[in-house]
Amino acid sequence: MHGMNLLSDRMQVALHRVGLKQAELARLAGVSRQTINDWTHDRAKNIRGANLLAACKVLGVRPEWLASGKGEMLPEEGSIPLEYEERVERVIQCYLRADEKGKLLIEGVADHVGAQRPSPLDLDLETN
């Protein structure tokens, strides 16, 4: 996007896109109103870490775009929403640490959720 070199410009566009006021973003992202004011009035040159991720989660924009202006503003269709990335990572770590029976159980639950088929948990409960 042309004219998106400044964090303040990107922040204004993202706020307008979702129809939020600065105070609402501050509350939802868990940062101070002064921080949001700095981001939107060119008093902060960058945003990173937990504040970047919190703002992106609320605004629905990609962290790379908000932080630097590079890449696309919006996540790709089908990408994992930011609010789920931590949970997905936790599931992956559980799967990697699981023994074969645990892996089969995790896969069965995933199949059940994805296809609304009976999960191994349901089958085990019915047979016991």
Q: Amino acid identity, residue 4?
A: M
Predicted pLDDT of residue 119: 47
Give the residue-averaged pLDDT of 77-105. 80
43 vs 117, more confident: 43
This prediction has a pTM of 0.62
Residue 105 predicted with pLDDT over 60: yes
| 72/4 Cα distance (integer angstroms) | 11
| 76/78 Cα distance (integer angstroms) | 6
- Count of residues in the chain: 128
Q: How many CA atoms lie within 13 A of 68 on its CB side?
A: 5
